[in-house]
Structure 1
Amino acid sequence: MTMVNLSFVLFLLCGVLINVQIARSDECITGSIRKLYEELNCIPEHDETNGCITSYNCSFTNDQRADKCYYQGREFSDGDRLEHNDFRSKCIPTCSCLVRDGRAEFNCAHYDCAEFFQPPLKKNCMRTYSHDSCCAVGVYCKKENEEETAATCEYGGKVYTEGATFFPNEEPCKKCICKPGFSGSLESPWCEEVFCEIEIHHAESIRDNCAPVYFGDNSCCPINFHCAHASSDETQETEVESTTITQKANDNTPTCKFGNSTVEIGRKVRGPEECTECSCKVPPLIECVVNSECQEGKLKTAN
């Protein structure tokens, strides 16, 4: 084998190893919190033996001032504005950085879509959507006894009409819109990434080391944040089952922060209510998950 061919083989082998490493990272991290870390531009840290992401380095947030707003690496002072084109989400028209009592947060306007105030649609009618707009862009009505003229998309055992939206379970951070030519691909132009805009909506919660709360284990954006009580320096910690993602190895093992308290991987803190479980899985934040079966059971009992 010539030196050129050997170099080429080594190059291909390195590429395969890198791809395997990335695939392993994608497969072995559990929970919904990964999207939050990515939006904050935290740096993933891997286990050298298996390539799994064990934690994220978000230490740069320690240098952020409480009286400033931050978005995508930019710093904003009191009164500074962001316009529609500054955001990744299509549903934020404008925001201003507002400082109160020395603490900054974004104050944002929201779109009041016309469909929110309109009467229900007639039978066989549906609103249609576009990735370029937050609100509906039109209405499609199928006429009875006439052949379907709009394109259809089949996915997950359901059939969607052109312009309809759907959210794939296997990729909860994707929003899809039925368009001609759909063959099952969850990529553009049919599907686009959903942005939670954590820095816009939850900057104060991140600053206070609060725990994002997700509905179920496979969701995209947090539905709320659970914060430590300001009057208590202790978190209600109990041991977690042996199925914990990472075992404590040494003093260099990353830990989670909950308010002012430090929580080891594999330990949990008391959730905001009975059906919400909060634990340290992927530092530096605690992750809370609402158990849907528990919640449904409580609702049935109440009724």
Structure 2
Amino acid sequence: MMEKVAVSMVMLLCSIVAICNAEDSCPPAPKHYLELGCKPIQDKGQRCPNRFECPELTDRSGEKCYFNGNIYDAGKSLSVEDQELVSCSPGCRCDNNTSPASFTCAYIDCPEFFNHGSDESCIYQYTARGCCASGKVCGEDMEKLSVCYMDGEKYLEGQKIYPKNDGCYFCHCQKNFDNSTIVGNPNCYEINCGIELRNIDRVMEGCIPVYFGTDRCCPISWRCPEDDDKVIVEGRLDAVETVNPKMQCNFGNLTMSVGDSLFSDDKCISCKCTVPPMPHCIQSRDC
């Protein structure tokens, strides 16, 4: 089991630092860094960013809320533009009754979520950023709709598309849909995991994200520091080798160099410092 988790971590390391990528491409930022507004740093001699700087995490006021680079005072609601990014969590408002201040949001259960039957005579249609279906088309009216193709699958106008190889994006089938690209496609949108909406308390406590496998976009849980945490040092001798402090991860009272892991009794989860300054964890798909 540990071998499979280790393989997953190697795959993630390859995907992040681009050692397994084509020469002309760099991978996107890890999702938690992207949503926390961290700045990618590409040190001399590196083809792609090899670490991130997140100074705003220590500069944030505990009395305010933060989302998508914007600051909200207590009692203020998300702007229309920011709310659109998390349409399935409407009415988000900054609440300073918690420490630190955090957002409270409503949650939507769309009617179509409860329709588990596969009625091929009808489809639900959505607006580009809408959470619930805006309408339903059935029968012969479906033949009047534009057709889109992605990953060998057929979609009709108004349907949402979730690309197999770009888990952090969804697309919206429209007339003249271009399936040759995802990033930069006017009908494709990056998924916002809502880390600042739902997990900022974990982040401020120094917890790190746990991802499911290497291709799932958003964290599934968080691993927080514990008193008995220990670092497994890999490939270096502490007493001899000098480590660049910028290439280290911090977790609780521990300092980890790139390649170091956290000791854990849970054989299904592997936590490692791959791209500083935060380690993160991978849960094996076999658990």
TM-score (norm 1): 0.74
Change over 3 Å in CA distance of 1:176–1:86 after alignment to 2:
closer
Equivalent in the alignment of 1:216: 213
d(CA) in 1 for partners of 2:151 and 2:69? Answer: 38
Of 247, 250, 272, the match for 1:279: 272
Equivalent in the alignment of 1:103: 100
d(CA) in 1 for partners of 2:265 and 2:82? Answer: 34
Counterpart of 1:197, as a letter, is: G
2:27 counterpart of 1:34: no
User: How many angstroms does 1:62 deviate by?
Assistant: 0.9
Of 64, 68, 72, the match for 1:68: 64
Change over 3 Å in CA distance of 1:86–1:123 after alignment to 2:
closer
Equivalent in the alignment of 2:41: 45
2:174 counterpart of 1:176: no
Change over 3 Å in CA distance of 1:209–1:109 after alignment to 2:
same
User: How many angstroms does 1:42 deviate by?
Assistant: 1.0
SS of equivalent residue, structure 1 residue 81: coil
Number of corresponding residues: 259
Counterpart of 1:202, as a letter, is: N
Change over 3 Å in CA distance of 1:60–1:83 after alignment to 2:
closer
User: How many angstroms does 1:240 deviate by?
Assistant: 4.7
Change over 3 Å in CA distance of 1:83–1:184 after alignment to 2:
closer
Q: Would you say the 8 A contact 1:226–1:272 is kept in 2?
A: no
Once the two structures are superposed, the pairs formed by residues 162-241 of structure 1 within 5 Å of their partners are 162-185=157-180, 186=182, 187-229=184-226, 232=227, 234-240=228-234
Which ranges of 4 or more aligned residues in structure 1 deviate by more than 6 Å?
A: none
Return 5+ residue gaps in structure 2 as ranges: 1-21
Q: Deviations over 1:219-244 (max 9, x none)?
A: 22112211123xx1x423224579xx
Equivalent in the alignment of 1:59: 55
Change over 3 Å in CA distance of 1:72–1:268 after alignment to 2:
same
Q: Deviations over 1:118-161 (max 9, x none)?
A: 57463432222221311111222245xx9933222222122222
User: How many angstroms does 1:25 deviate by?
Assistant: 8.9
Query: Which is further off, 34-43 or 76-85?
Result: 76-85
* Structure with max Cα Rg: 1
RMSD across aligned positions (CA): 3.0
Change over 3 Å in CA distance of 1:164–1:269 after alignment to 2:
same
| Percent of aligned positions that are identical | 31
d(CA) in 2 for partners of 1:264 and 1:71? Answer: 30
Q: Which has the higher contact order (CA 8 A, sep 6+)?
A: 2
Change over 3 Å in CA distance of 1:25–1:252 after alignment to 2:
farther
d(CA) in 2 for partners of 1:147 and 1:115? Answer: 18
Change over 3 Å in CA distance of 1:249–1:197 after alignment to 2:
farther
User: How many angstroms does 1:291 deviate by?
Assistant: 1.7
Query: Which is further off, 172-181 or 252-261?
Result: 252-261
Of 147, 152, 155, the match for 1:152: 147
TM-score (norm 2): 0.77
User: How many angstroms does 1:267 deviate by?
Assistant: 0.8
Q: Would you say the 8 A contact 1:163–1:179 is kept in 2?
A: yes
